Amino acid sequence: MAVRPATEKRSRASAAPSRTQKSGKSANPAVNYQVAEFDKDDELKAYHDMLLIRRFEEKAGQLYGMGLIGGFCHLYIGQEAVVVGIQKALRDGEDQVTTSYRDHGHMLACGMDPKGVMAELTGRQGGYSRGKGGSMHMFSREKQFFGGHGIVGAQVPIGAGLAFADKYRGTDNVSVVYFGDGAANQGQVYETFNMAELWKLPVIFVIENNRYAMGTSVSRSSAQTDFAKRGESFNIRGEQVDGMDVRAVKAAADRAVEWARSGNGPYILEMQTYRYRGHSMSDPAKYRSKDEVQKMRDERDPIEQVRKRLVEKGWASEDDLKEIDKQVRAVVTEAADFASADAEPDPSELWTDILR
């Protein structure tokens, strides 16, 4: 899969704040619009995988509204290109993934079963944590998915620990740890950066800069909003990437994976992305205008970008795309039906799977 510079003109509605695009002082490049060349199968798979996440999240939102999901529920709608593009560069079931509480998309991208994820959301025994973990705490050893973490930034040292284990065991696996722009201000992130570079750990830090940490925009919370530079004082390479274009994400992920897999140590990818929904289901999102969200949906939507290319290149007709949507909706409906009908864990399960 070759890499070529993108020729499309980018609109000002790019997920990137304009001042980061102008930055020229750092050794790190400004937003990287270089894209991987996707053939028909790549585009169709990306379309399917991103649509699965979107439809799954829409359904999770509905089930939450119906009172079937308790506790917190953080939707990933708008950010789908990030996990789908990164996963495309990984070895399934070998490279590890760790993320925050906004985690359903990451699990689906890793190939975890939508039924098991949805059943965990509704607290049923067929869920990935047997109905006892919920939205923020799911794991799969088979898919090498290590959670799902509710404490902001907690997954960052865990991801580096996984990379340490990879290196210690002499494998060439890499560990990908996703965290947000808000989490990037946590102290443990920098302790981790230091050790990861010192020990040349094969870890890729993916900062999902969706421009908000709960209700606080990056410019209000961060002294340095070029997150790709956050590793500079540790000599960690970083790039800013157009996280709304799955091809750009894939190209950047290829560079980062190649770097880490060959023993060069950690790499930072700042994904410039955007979440369409509130921070969690209980957030009315009054800190930003409806126009801002609509503009992003209209001009930068990651799924729409792929859909447009597929149609323009004659790789899929509108009917073909409707068929994919139908198949995806059937998978999601099946997951929701299972998650509504499956039994809750038996009360005796309160005393299993715990440290005591």
Ligand X SMILES: Cc1ncc(C[n+]2csc(CCOP(=O)(O)OP(=O)(O)O)c2C)c(N)n1
By the criterion CB under 6 A, which residues form the site for ligand X?
100, 102, 150-152, 180-183, 208, 210, 212-214, 279
> Considering only CA atoms, which of 354, 331, 351, 329 is closest in space to residue 116?
331
In the complex with Mg ion, which residue's Cβ is closer, 127 or 153?
Answer: 153
CB atoms within 10 A of CB 214: 13
Residue nearest to ligand X (CB): 180
CB atoms within 10 A of CB 52: 22
H-state helical runs in the chain: 18-22, 40-65, 80-87, 104-110, 114-121, 155-168, 187-198, 218-221, 246-261, 290-300, 302-312, 318-341
In the complex with Mg ion, which residue's Cβ is closer, 213 or 296?
Answer: 213
Instruction: Give the SS3 label for residue 36.
Output: strand
Minimum CB distance to ligand X, residue 38 (Å): 26
In the complex with ligand X, which residue's Cβ is closer, 63 or 207?
Answer: 207
Lookup result for tokens 């290109």? 81
Q: Which does 183 bind (CB under 5 to 8 A by kind): Mg ion, ligand X, none?
A: ligand X
Q: Is residue 225 a contact point for Mg ion (CB under 5 A)?
A: no
Q: Is residue 180 a contact point for Mg ion (CB under 5 A)?
A: yes
Q: Which does 159 bind (CB under 5 to 8 A by kind): Mg ion, ligand X, none?
A: none
Binding residues for Mg ion, rule CB under 5 A, total: 4
Q: Which does 114 bind (CB under 5 to 8 A by kind): Mg ion, ligand X, none?
A: none
Q: Is residue 270 a contact point for Mg ion (CB under 5 A)?
A: no
In the complex with ligand X, which residue's Cβ is closer, 156 or 204?
Answer: 156
Minimum CB distance to ligand X, residue 311 (Å): 31
Six-digit token string for 23: 């930055």
Six-digit token string for 284: 């009315």
Minimum CB distance to ligand X, residue 183 (Å): 4
Minimum CB distance to ligand X, residue 208 (Å): 6
Q: Is residue 181 a contact point for Mg ion (CB under 5 A)?
A: yes
In the complex with ligand X, which residue's Cβ is closer, 183 or 251?
Answer: 183
β-pair type (175-180, 3-4): unpaired
Kind and range of the H or E run holding 240 = strand 237-242
Residues 298, 299, 301, 304: is their CA dihedral positive or negative? positive
Q: Is residue 243 a contact point for Mg ion (CB under 5 A)?
A: no
Instruction: Give the SS3 label for residue 98.
Output: strand
In the complex with ligand X, which residue's Cβ is closer, 112 or 154?
Answer: 154
Lookup result for tokens 């990030």? 82
Q: Which residues bind Mg ion (CB under 5 A)?
A: 180-181, 210, 213
